[in-house]
Every structure is written in structure tokens, then in C-alpha cells.
Amino acid sequence: MTLAAPAQGAYRESRAASLLVVLPALNEAESVARVVAEVLSRQPLADLLVVDDGSTDRTAEVARAAGARVMSLPFNLGVGGAMRAAYRFAYDEGYECVVQVDADGQHDPADIARLHCALDEADIVVGARFAGLGDYAVRGPRRWAMCLLAATLSRLVGTPLTDPTSGFRMVNRRALSLYAFDFPEEYLGDTVEALVLASRANLRITQVPVAMRERTAGTPSQNAFRSSAYLLRVVTAVVLAIARRAPIMRPGSTVEVA
């Protein structure tokens, strides 16, 4: 892994804010500069890291030219692997908070401040669609799976979550100390499974309504069939996990280990 040299003065000065904005990016050369500029204008005291995950276009150069630090992974790890690397970097560097923002312009950097405020009462804040803001719509089986998943996750986590697959989320140092060492790398595991993991670690999770924008350029990385299949698989796994009772140990019973 290589990390571009920081602009030392500006970097050290901005550490006072102790917020790292992370943009996982795969082939986002057309949109990343605009997103970097927007984040820097909304969060001038934050540091910004683009995790370029084996892009075949000029994502890394464009991001660097726009003023971001760039972590270049030697080959594609997926969003989970990229975020794990970013969380580890943030943990080692001593950041207090990390916010993940899409590099395609779909998340509005103006909302980062609202997520930050909600972090006073939680360890993880999810920027959520379907919570009263915006008109982003998903239809068909994907929508049903998302509703089922939202209901199941809300029950598991103990707080209403309308959008557990949102990648727009902020974590504090407590959550960072979990995610820096244990973060799901599987396909889409960075969203739902990451919340289950956090809940199991007794971290407090909440959401803030956000409006999702259209992609500014490029193409979505997810294939609709693959992501619907993933959602159904996760819903099944989570429902089974909730339904499963704790094993009953009968008095006097022993477990034999061969």
C-alpha cells in the first residue's frame, strides 16, 4: 500500500479538528475532484483521504490534484477492505472521528455536520434514506429486501434504522477502535454486517435523515441482481440469528471434547 506524502503544514494544522473524511473510490476520475472540493469547502478543518482501490482510470491523480491525500491499494479489495485500511490508518494517526462519503457525489457533504452532531449521543451515525428527507426511491424485490432488512436490523440493534445499507456513516474513536481491527471485507459486508458487529460490541448506533443525490458521473459498481441476492441472504441470516434461542444446558449435562 502506498500513501501519498501529506501537505505537511496544512495537514498538521488540520489535525486539531480530528475528523477524517474517507472517500472509497473505484474508477471515479470523472467525479472525485468535484466531491473533494465540496468536502473541503464544507469541512475546511477536516482531513480527506481517498482510498483508490486499484482503479484503472486516473482517480488517484485527479484526487491528489484536487487536494486529497490518496491511499493507493495495490489491487482491488472492495469497499470493506478499503474501509478497513482507512479505519486502521485513522486509528494509528489518532483521529477522533471518521466519516465515509461516496466519491460519486451521491452523498451531500453539507450533511457531514449533522452526522457529527448526532455523534454526541452515539458511536456510529448512519446517514439514512427513507427517513423523511429526499425522494430517492428503490423499487421491486430490492425495495422489499431493504424494508425487511431495515426492520430486522432495527430490532437487532434496538433503534429504528431505515437504511442499514447506507455507506454514508460516521464513527467515533470508540467504534474506530473496533473497526480498525475487525471490519467485514465481504461483498457489501461494510454496511449491514458492520452494524451487526458494532451492535454485538455494545456500540450505540443511530441515524440521521439525509437526501441522496444522483451520481454525478461514472457507473454504479453494484450489479442489481447481485446486490438483491446479497440482501436476501443477509435478511435470512439475520432472521435466523434472531430466531435462534440460546442453547439450553440441562442440569448435569456435559459437553465432551474428543
Ligand X SMILES: Nc1nc2c(ncn2[C@@H]2O[C@H](COP(=O)(O)OP(=O)(O)O)[C@@H](O)[C@H]2O)c(=O)[nH]1
Residues 131-190 that bind ligand X (CB under 6 A): 167
Strands 169-171 and 124-128: antiparallel
- Distance separating alpha carbons of residues 148 and 130, to the nearest angstrom: 13
CB of 201 to ligand X, least distance (A): 24
Among 51, 63, 126, 194, which residue sits at the site for ligand X (rule: CB under 6 A)? 51
Q: Contact at 8 Å (CB) between 170 and 116?
A: yes
Among 222, 226, 236, 242, which residue sits at the site for ligand X (rule: CB under 6 A)? 222
Please identify, using beta-carbon distances, which residue of 30 and 174 lies nearer to ligand X.
Answer: 30
Q: Contact at 8 Å (CB) between 90 and 174?
A: no
CB of 139 to ligand X, least distance (A): 15
Among 22-30, 55-63, 101-109, 144-152, which window interacts with Mg ion (CB under 5 A)? 101-109
Count of residues near ligand X by CB under 6 A = 18
Of 177, 185, 182, 169, the residue nearest 73 (C-alpha)? 185
Q: Which phi and psi angles does 210 have, rounded to 5°?
A: -135, 160
Of 3, 49, 65, 60, the residue nearest 26 (C-alpha)? 60
Binding of ligand X by 53 (CB under 6 A): yes
What beta strand segments (E) does the chain contain? Answer: 2-3, 19-25, 47-53, 69-73, 97-100, 124-128, 169-171, 205-209
Q: Contact at 8 Å (CB) between 73 and 79?
A: no
Binding of ligand X by 24 (CB under 6 A): yes
Please identify, using beta-carbon distances, which residue of 204 and 207 lies nearer to ligand X.
Answer: 207
Q: Write the binding mask 105 to 124 for Mg ion: x where contact by CB under 5 A, - elsewhere.
A: -x------------------
Among 47, 52, 53, 104, which residue sits at the site for Mg ion (rule: CB under 5 A)? 104
CB of 55 to ligand X, least distance (A): 8
Question: Among all chains, which residue has been given the C-alpha cell 454496511?
Answer: 191
Please identify, using beta-carbon distances, which residue of 28 and 47 lies nearer to Mg ion.
Answer: 28
Among 21, 22, 25, 231, which residue sits at the site for ligand X (rule: CB under 6 A)? 25
Q: Which positions touch ligand X (CB under 6 A)? A: 24-26, 28, 51, 53, 76, 78-79, 82, 102-104, 106, 167, 220-222
